[in-house]
Every structure is written in structure tokens, then in C-alpha cells.
Amino acid sequence: MRPTGARALPKQKDEVMNEDDPGDNAVFDFDELADHLLEQGLDNSPSELHGCLCGLLAGRIDPRPEAGLAALERALDLELHGELAGQMMQLFGVTAAALQDEEFDFYPLLPGDDTDIEERTAALAGWCRGFLAGFAQTSTGPAEHESGEILRDFAAIAEAGVDPDADEDESENSLAELTEYLRIAALNVFMDSLAGENDSAPRPSSRPH
């Protein structure tokens, strides 16, 4: 099976931002966040919320966690409370730091590899929908040229599905390529938003040479 409806690029690294990763990101358990969302009567994926936070940050949202939570709720038409609201504010701060990391140590929040590929593909698509919603919430003008191309790619990936005619290895490889593309592309959109402040900011490559 193969995710369809989006462009795939060469894989550079196969890690994702989930409970298997080291460091601060380890405090965010995908399944726990999903359970909290269900407890609050919401069917959104944690991936969609994380994508939205990334889009907000790329659109240069107020960096205060409270502002990030409020913008997240507006962008996705949610009302979060209790522990989940606190976790989203914490995730906002961790994500902001990851996007600014000089080693590009940023990964989208997605289900673990033990989850079936249909669910992981759906989460990837949800992450893109969330990013687009967050970016639209804060962006005040047209995106830079490269960012505009990336946003169009994200819109295509948001419609991705699994190709029933592809074998398992092909599907896994395609999903890994798309995940890596999201990682690098999101960093590039964020870097574009910093261009006016620091034209010399390092920039990862989001497309093959």
C-alpha cells in the first residue's frame, strides 16, 4: 500500500516526534493525548493539533503559551480545558524551541510505527490540515515563494490515502518519505517567516538536488 495524493521526497531520517524520541518530546505520549481528546468529546487527532501549533508558530504567533492555546482553539474551533490545555501549552513551547534548534531537531507528532499504516497516513494528513489552519490563523499576507509551494504540497498531502495496490514495504517507504518532507518543509516555512529578522538564518533543504 502507498499513500497517494501527494508528492514523496527522498527519506533522510525516519524519526518522528513521539513517545519513542529522546529529550523533552518524550513527555508527550500520542495515545495519552488522543485519550484526553476523546474524554473531552473531540475526534481531532493529536497530530492535527500539533500541526496547527506548528502553523501558528510559522505564522509568527505571539510566543506566549497562553496565546498559542487561544489561537489553537480559534483555528480548530475547539475549547480545551484541564490537563489537556496544559499539555498543549507545554507542547507549544517545546515545538517553538524545536523549530528554532540549530540542528533542525524538529519532528511532527505522529503515531508510533506499531500503529497500522492507514491510521498513520490519516494522522499525517491531519497534521497537514492542522498546519494549514494554524498558518491561516496568523499569516497577514501572501507566503514567500517557496513557502507557497510548500503550503500547496501540504494541501495535497492533507488528502493523502493508502494505495491498496501497493505492497507493504512500498507503503512504508512512501509514508517515511512524506514524513521527512513534512519535517523539512515545515522548518523551511518557519525559516521564511524569520527572513525579515535574520536573512542569514540556516535553512534545511526541502527538495532533492
At 152, which CATH number?
1.20.120.740
Structural domain of 148: 26-194
6-46 tens-digit pLDDT = 333 333 333 334 434 433 444 689 999 999 999 999 999 99
Residue 102 covered by a domain: yes
Residue 199 covered by a domain: no
Residue 14 covered by a domain: no
Residue 178 has pLDDT above 90, yes or no: yes
DSSP string, 48-110: HHHHHHHHHHHTT--SSHHHHHHHHHHHHT----HHHHHHHHHHHHHHHHHHT-TT-------
Residue 2 covered by a domain: no
pTM of the model: 0.81
45-103 tens-digit pLDDT = 999 999 999 999 999 899 999 999 999 999 999 999 999 999 999 999 999 999 998 88
Residue 205 covered by a domain: no
Say how many domains are in the chain: 1
Which ranges of 77-194 does DSSP label H, i.e. alpha helix? 82-99, 117-138, 145-157, 168-194
Q: Which residue has the cell 495519552?
A: 32
Q: Which residue has the cell 502507498?
A: 2
Residue 128 covered by a domain: yes
Q: What is the pLDDT of residue 9?
A: 30
Residue 131 covered by a domain: yes
Residue 15 covered by a domain: no
